[in-house]
Chains A and B, each alone.
Chain A
């Protein structure tokens, strides 16, 4: 079945550091890919998405590129802030055939220190 693998944290960085959170996937067909963020005590918020190969999703300084050849969707940000501290989930959605729910990775807890 479909699956998402992402680096497990916690990942601790200093403010203004460069961020990469790795995400790879296994899926039948051609999935859409997503990054969601969960702040403490809150639900998940869609951060960015890409629906086909080579698409780049971006939002709030975060970027991720859909790489079909490496089945990856790594999240990057050039300069992180303390307010970026949260749990980040990579997810996929397989079009057609079967469940339309998102398949999530385990989540990466990001801690940014001032």
Chain B
């Protein structure tokens, strides 16, 4: 158990819908990272937040957004969903903004039908 929690574990929704994925980092960790794992693209970095502020952006679509709240939990919002958005979404956390050791949550499996 990494100490990173993600909810929900599974999510099934229809095309065009909007969903929110939630992540709670390990106690004391200030940084949260979001990754997408799909068969086509593999594991891709989406976005990083550090202590409430966006710090780095990877291959995140404009339809996707994230935020980190004062209690340091983070939410990833996915809108106008397409079939190709079906994937495992992982959250990871690290103590500082320098991500030499990232701890991953168990993931949320999103299925878009």
Contacts and interface: CB of A to CB of B under 8 A. Distances in A.
Given A43-B2, A101-B33, A107 B100 contact: no
Contact of B99 (A44, A100, A105): A100
A44 B104 contact: yes
B104 A45 contact: yes
A32 B46 CA distance: 19
Nearest to B47: A101
Contact of B45 (A42, A44, A103, A106): A103
A104 B90 contact: no
A97 to B, nearest CB: 10
Contact of A46 (B4, B33, B102): B102
A51 B45 contact: no
B43 A99 contact: no
Given A42-B106, A93-B99, A104 B42 contact: yes
Dominant secondary structure of chain B at its interface with chain A: strand
Interface of A: 32, 36, 41-46, 49, 51, 89, 93, 95, 98-107
Interface residues of B, number: 28
A107 B43 CA distance: 9
Contacts of B92: 44
9 contacts: A42-B106, A43-B104, A45-B104, A51-B100, A99-B58, A100-B48, A101-B46, A101-B47, A101-B56
A86 to B, nearest CB: 14
Contacts of B58: 99, 101
Contacts of B97: 100
B25 interface: no
B101 A99 contact: no
B107 A89 contact: no
A47 B22 CA distance: 25
Given A98-B56, A99-B58, A101-B35, A43 B90 contact: yes
A44 B37 CA distance: 11
B18 interface: no
B30 to A, nearest CB: 13
